[in-house]
Amino acid sequence: MEKQTIRDVQVQGKRVIVRVDFNVPLDRATGGVADDTRIRAALPTIHYLREQGARVVLCSHLGRPDGRVTEDLRLAPVASRLEHLLGGPVAATRECVGPEVERAVAGLKPGEVLLLENLRFHPEEEANDPAFARALAGLADLYVNDAFGTAHRAHASTAGIAAYLPAVAGFLMEKEVRFLGQALQRPERPFAAILGGAKVSDKIKLVENLLARVDTLIIGGGMANAFLKAQGLEVGVSRLEEGAVAQARAILDKARQHGLSLLLPTDGVIAERFEEGAAHKTVPASEVPVGWMILDIGPATREAFATAILGSKIVVWNGPMGVFEWPAFAEGTRAVARALAQCRGTTIVGGGETAQAVASLGLADKMTHVSTGGGAALEFLEGRELPGVAALCDK
C-alpha cells in the first residue's frame, strides 16, 4: 500500500479522529446490535491507538437519516456493543460537532475512547461541506480512515476532513487495499474471478476491468441469463435487463479475443414462480421451458465451477449464484463458498451479499479476505479511484 498508515505516524498523546464503518444492522426488538462484524473489524486499529496512548475519537454513520436527527438511528447501541468488545468504557455524545463534543474531546485521557453521534444527522456530511469537515478536523490532531466500506464516497468525514489534518489509513483500510490491490496488480496465476448477482449492468465495468487480467472468468446468478441468451439459448421468463444481451455478447467476443476461459452455467435450478416455495426442478441450460425461470446454477455447473476454483492460485468472488436466501435455490452459492474454503490459493470475497452468504454458511474464517465494503470493493475492482483512499497521505 502506497499510503501512510497509523504505523508511520506518532500517535502518543494525540487526539485521533477515526472514521469507522459502524453502519451495522440493529435488532428492532431488543434495540441492540444484530450483527457486530463491522465493529469487530475496527478493533485492531482501536486497540493499537489505545495501547499507543492516543485519545481516540470515533465517528461513523448509521443508516440513511437523510440529514435529519432520527431517534432510532442513534449510535448508542453501537457504543454499548463496543464497550462489551473492548472490555472498558466508551463515552458517547448526542452530537458529532459543537460545544458538547468539544468538551467531551477535551476531557479525554490517553487510551480513552469517545464515539460521536451519527454523522448523517447533518446534511453537510454527504454534501462534503468544507465547514463541517473543518469542524470535525478541529476535534483532533490526526485523521485515520478505517472505513473502507465508505471509501467510495466523497463525504466530509471520508475525504473533506483530510484537507485539514494529516490523514493516514487504519489497519482495516490497509488490509482491504492490500488484498484487493494484489488481485488487480500482482495476481498469482491462474487467476479466477467469479461474478454473480442479478444484473449485468451492475458488473459491466468490473467485467471490462477483469477481462485483461484473469485467466478464468466464471459467471453465474441472474446475470448469467443474458450470456445464455447471447449464445442463442432460451431462458424462459428469467430476469433479463434491456440491453443486457448485447452487453453479454460483447463480453463473450472480448473474452475470445483475450483467449481466456469463460465458464457459464450448463444447467440450472428452475422454478414456475419467483417464490420461496415454488415448484422447481433441475434442467440443462438448453432446456428451460417456456414460463419457467432460472433461480440457481445446477449440479453439473457447481462441479465445473468448483474444479476451476480449486485449480486457481487467486480467486475473487463478487455476487451470489442464485437466490441464496431461499434454501431451494441456495446450493449453487453454497457450492462456490465451499470450493473457496477448500482452495489453497488466495481467496477474496468482495463484500455485500457475497460476504453475507459466506458468513451465513460459517465459512468466513476459511477465506483469505472477506471485504467489509460492498460498493467500495466493487468500485475498487473496477479500477476506479476511491476518494477516501486518494485523500490519504502518500508514503
Say if residue 190 is preceded by a cis peptide, omega within 30 of 0: yes
Of 3, 38, 120, 175, the catalytic one is 38
Task: Collect all residues with Cβ–Cβ distance below 8 Å to 18 and sequence separation of at least 6.
Answer: 42, 45, 46, 49, 56, 57, 58, 59, 143, 144, 145, 146, 170
The answer to whether 375 is a known catalytic residue is: yes
Using CA atoms, how far apart are residues 155 and 277, in angstroms rounded to an integer? Answer: 43
Residue pair 329/294 in contact (Cβ under 8 Å)? The answer is no
Q: What share of the chain is helix, strand, coil (3-state, %, to 5)?
A: 40, 15, 45
Three-state DSSP state, 309: helix
Of 199, 205, 249, 366, the catalytic one is 199
The answer to whether 352 is a known catalytic residue is: yes
Residue that is written with C-alpha cell 435488532 in the block? 27
Of 352, 373, 374, 388, the catalytic one is 352
Task: Collect all residues with Cβ–Cβ distance below 8 Å to 336 and sequence separation of at least 6.
Answer: 194, 220, 302, 305, 306, 309, 317, 321
Task: Collect all residues with Cβ–Cβ distance below 8 Å to 158 and sequence separation of at least 6.
Answer: 19, 145, 147, 150, 151, 387, 388, 391
Residue pair 212/258 in contact (Cβ under 8 Å)? The answer is yes
Residue pair 219/262 in contact (Cβ under 8 Å)? The answer is yes
Question: How many CB atoms lie under 10 A from the CB of residue 357?
Answer: 24
Of 63, 273, 375, 384, the catalytic one is 375
Phi, psi of 12 (to 5 degrees): -60, 125
The answer to whether 19 is a known catalytic residue is: no
The answer to whether 351 is a known catalytic residue is: no
Using CA atoms, how far apart are residues 48 and 134, in angstroms rounded to an integer? Answer: 26
DSSP code per residue over 58-116: EE---S--TTS--GGG-SHHHHHHHHHHHTS--EE-S-SSSHHHHHHHHTPPTT-EEE-
Instruction: List, by residue number, the catalytic residues.
Output: 38, 199, 352, 375
